[in-house]
Structure 1
């Protein structure tokens, strides 16, 4: 009977903690500024569009129709592109491809750069110097030019795009992680864990990483924006995500000629601005959420 009472009390404690967490989350959302709520709404909307693209898009991603540069109509709400593909469908599929690749790339950059930064913050010897000097060399080369060169060598596949951009952006993540982790690594509780005989991995995971999470989470949001814009820029230059895969940067380049049609058909002239607006909107939304998170993590009093 005592075992059953202990089990019931443990379950009740878990339920209470879950309710408390949901209440605190709802309380924080209610106190969030309008900019943060707008950013969260835009991000949630984009995520739902990306996940449900096959069911939301009226046509296939690469389905071609007989009329290129078609105007807006009931059949094609945003018209067709230079070879007759539905613009609305490609915008929806572009959310999945562009945002998905940017998120995976950013996550990989943080795994590589963050891991190396934590290792360098503890091993302050030759390993730290070796990693830091290698990062300095990579950061000395303009990232966009370096990415163009590597993509021309290894090809413009999605895997190459993810690995190359993740490698280049991991250098920035490494510098930030090392800078904030070095200050934590000299704290007394970290030294006490080392003297207890804890392993390096345990110290990094349990003592250092939880104390540097706020700046890393904020950097993740900012780094996602930079990666997102880099992928769009590379696609606009023709070395990013390759056709027939839908991508917002590629769509801006492919439909740029439609701007000259604005004097005859204003809606058709606005078509190249749609993917550019989608890129700008997600970038602004993520920055709004990151600013709010930085304000909350700083411990400053809300003045909204």
Structure 2
């Protein structure tokens, strides 16, 4: 009986020890995953990047135009086209020949440079690729440079037979082209809005400030009523003071422009009843049907506002013709 009691006690101790070890193991795994998650978030946000979703893209469809290989390296154009298509898909872009925005460019340089030698044989190599690419708004013909002769460099080591060196060279080339593709798509994703800032209003776009102020201060139509609601409290106060001749025009114009640009960059302002009294152009009507996002939604808001106030605000076409 005593032996049996000791046996049960021993089994109980073993069971408790196992339980403690299991709990410790679970805690260790939780701690490990917490550290990994923390590291990932620090890496992501500490580098100045934010999580990019499809809804935040400047536009969701892009056309790929002429991609020219100006080097003597064969198959470079085909390899880059595949890499570019994969990268666009990874970021959430669709590729369509009918898209408004088109990518064009050329690979201007390809070099394979030996770096080190071993027994009079090259042991390490460098692949250098340079390219020029631009994003074209096919409607306005505005061109935005993306990369301009920035070198994309990869390295590989090989002291084996020539066919092995060539195989390593191809892998290294694919890696360099992937880096080039990612840089192009990254610039399109994060920098395009500021490069296409011509969609925003400027002070010179206000043709008749007094009329615009009166329509926003005492709104009588649905569009003016909506826009007044979107103005900042400070701007609404300034409208009141302007009507009462308390402030000069140059004090209120920047506030109106700033608020209009905030509205342009926000949600779609279109509502069928709100714009029922406005004679919208076919371009605007076609854009409404697309339920656009990103830059195209920004363009739609700009068109809707300028078409609601044709005598007060300059049209977008006048702006793009100046550039």
TM (normalized to structure 1)? 0.29
TM (normalized to structure 2)? 0.28
Of Structure 1 and Structure 2, the greater strand share is in: 2
Structure having greater relative contact order (Cα 8 Å, sep ≥ 6): 1
Say which one has the larger Rg.
Answer: 2
